[in-house]
Structure 1
Amino acid sequence: MQIPLNEFEQVIDEKILKRGLTYFKGGAITDFSEISTGEYEAIVSGTEEYTVQLEVSNNTIVAHNCDCPYDMGPICKHVVAAIFYLQQNELELNHPNFTIPKKKKTKSISQQVKELLRAISHEELIEFVQKNSNKDKKFRNYFLASFGHLSQNQSKEFYQKQIHSILQTAAGRDGWIDWSDMKYVVNTTEPFIENAEKYLTNNNFENVFYISTALLEEMTEAFQYGDDSNGDLGYFVESAMELLSKLVQKKLPATLKQEIFEYCISSFNQKLFEGWGWHLGMLHIACELIEKESDADIILDCLDTVDGNYERELAQSFKLDLLREFKDKQVVERYINKHISNSSIRMKEIEKAFKSKNFEKVLQLSKDGIKCDEKDKPGLVKVWYNWLLKVAQSQKDTPKIIEFSRFLFIDNFHPEQDYYQILKDTIEDEKWYPFLEEIIKEITPKQRWTYTELIRKIYIKEEWWERLFLMLKQNISLENIEQNESYLSKDYSSELIELYSERIINYVEKYIGRNHYQTACRYLRRMKKLGGGKQVKDLIEMFRKQYPQRKALMDELSRV
Structure 2
Amino acid sequence: MNLHKKVSTLSKEDLVELVMDLVKGDENVKQKVEYKLLTPNDEVKASKQLIRKYINAYKRQGFISRGNVYAALKGAELVLQKGREKLVSGEEETAVHLGIAILSIVVEMLQFADDSNGEIGYIINESTTLIRDGSSLVLLSSDHHKQDSIFQLILKEAMHKRYDDWSDFRHELLDVCTVYSARSSARQMLEKTLDKLLTQASTISSWSSSYDQTILKELQFKILERNGELEEANQFINQNLEFENFREMAIEKAIENADFSFAVKLCEDGENNDIKYLGLVKKWKQYRLQVYEAQDEVEKQKEILLEFVYDNEYDAYGRLKDLYPAEKWKTVVEEIFEVLENKSDHLPYVYEYMAKAENRGDKLLKYCKESPMTITELYPYLTDDYPDELNQLFTEYIRREAERATDRKMYRNVCRKLKIYQKACGESIFQEMVNELKQTYQRKPAFVNELDKIK
| Shorter-normalised TM range | 0.7 to 0.9
Q: 1:245 aligns to what?
A: 132
Equivalent of 2:181, from 285, 290, 309? 290
Q: Aligned pair 1:397/2:297, yes or no? A: yes
TM-score with structure 2 setting the length: 0.79
CA contact (8 A) 1:264 1:286 kept: yes
Which moves more between the two structures, 357-366 or 198-207?
198-207
CA contact (8 A) 1:260 1:286 kept: no
Aligned residues: CA RMSD: 3.9
Alignment map for 1:398-477 (pairs within 5 Å): 398-411=298-311, 418-445=315-342, 449-477=345-373
Q: 1:279 aligns to what?
A: 170
Q: Deviations over 1:41-86 (max 9, x none)?
A: xxxxxxxxxxxxxxxxxxxxxxxxxxxxxxxxxxxxxxxxxxxxxx
Q: Aligned pair 1:129/2:23, yes or no? A: yes
TM-score with structure 1 setting the length: 0.66
Q: 2:445 aligns to what?
A: 548
Q: Aligned pair 1:209/2:96, yes or no? A: yes
Which moves more between the two structures, 401-410 or 279-288?
401-410
Q: Deviations over 1:470-519 (max 9, x none)?
A: 32123212xx2345356557877897687556545533542546765665
Q: Partners of 2:365 and 2:72 in 1: how far apart?
A: 58
* Gap runs ≥5 in structure 2: 202-208
Q: Aligned pair 1:342/2:243, yes or no? A: yes
Evaluate the alpha carbon distance shift between residue 433 and residue 555 of structure 1 in structure 2; reply closer, same or farther with a 3 A threshold. Answer: closer
CA contact (8 A) 2:383 2:424 kept: yes
Q: Partners of 1:374 and 1:405 in 2: how far apart?
A: 19
Percent identity over paired residues: 21
Q: 2:156 aligns to what?
A: 266
Q: Partners of 1:223 and 1:537 in 2: how far apart?
A: 63
Q: Partners of 2:412 and 2:81 in 1: how far apart?
A: 47
Evaluate the alpha carbon distance shift between residue 276 and residue 521 of structure 1 in structure 2; reply closer, same or farther with a 3 A threshold. Answer: farther
Q: Aligned pair 1:380/2:286, yes or no? A: no
Q: Choose between structure 1 and 2: higher helix proportion.
A: 2
Q: Deviations over 1:82-103 (max 9, x none)?
A: xxxxxxxxxxxxxxxxxxxxxx
Give the CA deviation at 1:161.
1.7
SS in 2 for 1:249: helix
Equivalent of 2:57, from 169, 174, 179? 169
Equivalent of 1:220, from 102, 107, 122? 107
Q: Partners of 1:186 and 1:485 in 2: how far apart?
A: 57
CA contact (8 A) 2:401 2:414 kept: yes
Evaluate the alpha carbon distance shift between residue 431 and residue 315 of structure 1 in structure 2; reply closer, same or farther with a 3 A threshold. Answer: same
Q: Partners of 1:121 and 1:407 in 2: how far apart?
A: 77
Evaluate the alpha carbon distance shift between residue 428 and residue 367 of structure 1 in structure 2; reply closer, same or farther with a 3 A threshold. Answer: same
Give the CA deviation at 1:394.
2.3
Q: 2:259 aligns to what?
A: 358
Give the CA deviation at 1:362.
0.5
In the alignment, residue 53 of structure 2 is paired with which amino acid?
A: S
Q: Deviations over 1:372-427 (max 9, x none)?
A: 1012x1111112122222222222223222222212332265x8xx4323322223
Q: Partners of 2:365 and 2:230 in 1: how far apart?
A: 61
SS in 2 for 1:267: helix
Give the CA deviation at 1:132.
5.8
Q: 2:204 aligns to what?
A: none
Give the CA deviation at 1:269.
2.2
Q: 2:205 aligns to what?
A: none
Q: 1:506 aligns to what?
A: 400
Q: Partners of 1:359 and 1:533 in 2: how far apart?
A: 63
Q: Partners of 2:89 and 2:100 in 1: how far apart?
A: 19
Evaluate the alpha carbon distance shift between residue 397 and residue 123 of structure 1 in structure 2; reply closer, same or farther with a 3 A threshold. Answer: closer
Q: Choose between structure 1 and 2: higher strand proportion.
A: 1
Q: 2:206 aligns to what?
A: none
Q: How many positions carry a matched residue from both structures?
A: 430
Q: Deviations over 1:20-39 (max 9, x none)?
A: xxxxxxxxxxxxxxxx99xx
Evaluate the alpha carbon distance shift between residue 282 and residue 494 of structure 1 in structure 2; reply closer, same or farther with a 3 A threshold. Answer: farther
CA contact (8 A) 1:145 1:188 kept: no
Q: Partners of 1:264 and 1:488 in 2: how far apart?
A: 68
